[in-house]
């Protein structure tokens, strides 16, 4: 395993479409729930322990070789908002393209054949991690980090927040990302033995509601 491959996959500049999504931050900014660094940290902490934990567990299970169709169904069941399901599949499709070009693999080709319009992003992330020679731990870390780095960089653009403050938020959340990644890997291992019902089902209701409201706006900077 090349540990450096994790840096390539987790890099915010990895061309997989994430730059056009705010991870719910745009809706939260508009609703007055994110107004600065402190409320950004609260938002990110909530997202990390709910949607982030689910995504990291899906990614870990996929990296362990669990059937992608079953995982994709489990992701659907854990994503009440239709807008978020659409965004998740769109990002999955974009990640699939980038990963296939970056780490060509029969498993990624097979995933693309089964999901031409995209599987849920964390599922693709797990298969991409396998293709990159990475394991469940790395896949879980990548998903956990993405669950907070997306909203943080979007908030820099949305509020003209000081970019140093936004990065400091991510650094303060690092110990919690460690714990979320640990829990996700444990969940992923249980899924291998006992099926997808072992996946956590945490969810932030305001993230789901905000995504539906956001999808109906005529004017917005981010796609989700």
Partner 1 sequence: MHLDHSHDGPSAVSADARRPDGSRRALRIGLGGPVGSGKTATVAALCRALRDELSLAVVTNDIYTREDAEFLLREAVLPPERITAVETGACPHTAIRDDISANLEAVEDLEDEVGPLDLILVESGGDNLTATFSKGLVDAQIFVIDVAGGDDIPRKGGPGVTTADLLVVNKTDLAPYVGSDLSRMAADAKAQRAELPVVFQSLRGEPGVRGVAEWVRAQLSAWTA
Mark the segment that binds partner 1 (CB under 8 A) among 12-20, 137-145, 166-174, 194-202.
Answer: 12-20
Q: Which residues contact 136 (CB under 8 A, 6 or more apart)?
A: 59, 60, 61, 63, 64, 126, 129, 185, 188, 189
- List the one residue from 100, 167, 186, 203 that touches partner 1 (CB under 8 A): 100
Residue 3 sits in the site that holds partner 1 (CB under 8 A):
no
Q: State the DSSP H helix or E strand holding residue 136, giving kind and residue range, or none if neither.
A: helix 136-159
Nearer to partner 1, 115 or 140 (CB): 115
Interacting residue with partner 1 among 116, 175, 193, 216 (CB under 8 A): 116
Is position 21 an interface residue for partner 1 (rule: CB under 8 A)? yes
> Coil, helix or strand for 184?
helix
User: Residue 170, interface with partner 1 (CB under 8 A)?
Assistant: no
The answer to whether 221 contacts partner 1 (rule: CB under 8 A) is yes
CA distances from 103 to 5, 10, 126, 133, 201 (A): 10, 14, 13, 9, 30
Query: Is position 106 an interface residue for partner 1 (rule: CB under 8 A)?
Result: no
- When asked if residue 19 is in the footprint of partner 1 (CB under 8 A), the reply is yes
Q: Does the footprint of partner 1 cover residue 115 (CB under 8 A)?
A: yes
Q: Report how far residue 40's alpha carbon sits from residue 25's, in angstroms, rounded to the nearest whole number.
A: 8
The reply on whether position 77 binds partner 1 by CB under 8 A is no
Phi, psi of 120 (to 5 degrees): -60, 140
Does 97 engage in binding with partner 1 (CB under 8 A)?
yes
According to the binding rule CB under 8 A, does residue 83 interact with partner 1? no
């Amino acid at each position: 395993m090349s540990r450096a491959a994790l840096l390539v996959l987790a890099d915010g500049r990895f061309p997989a479409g994430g730059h056009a999504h705010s991870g719910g931050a745009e809706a939260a900014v508009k609703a007055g729930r994110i107004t600065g660094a402190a409320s950004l940290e609260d938002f990110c902490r909530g997202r990390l322990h709910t949607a982030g934990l689910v995504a990291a567990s899906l990614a870990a299970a996929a990296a362990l070789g669990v059937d992608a169709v079953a995982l994709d169904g489990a992701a659907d069941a854990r994503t009440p908002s239709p807008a978020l399901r659409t965004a998740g599949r769109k990002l999955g499709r974009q990640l699939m393209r980038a990963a296939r070009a970056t780490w060509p693999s029969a498993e990624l080709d097979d995933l693309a054949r089964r999901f031409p319009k995209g599987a849920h992003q964390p599922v693709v992330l797990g298969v991409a991690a396998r293709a990159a020679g990475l394991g469940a731990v790395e896949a879980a870390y990548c998903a956990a980090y993405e669950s907070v780095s997306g909203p943080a960089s979007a908030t820099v653009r949305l509020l003209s927040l000081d970019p140093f403050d936004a990065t400091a938020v991510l650094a303060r959340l690092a110990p919690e990302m460690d714990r979320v990644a640990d829990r996700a890997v444990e969940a992923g291992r249980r899924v291998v033995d006992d099926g997808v019902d072992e996946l956590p089902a945490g969810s932030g209701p305001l993230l789901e509601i905000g995504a539906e409201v956001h999808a109906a706006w005529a004017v917005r900077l981010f796609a989700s």
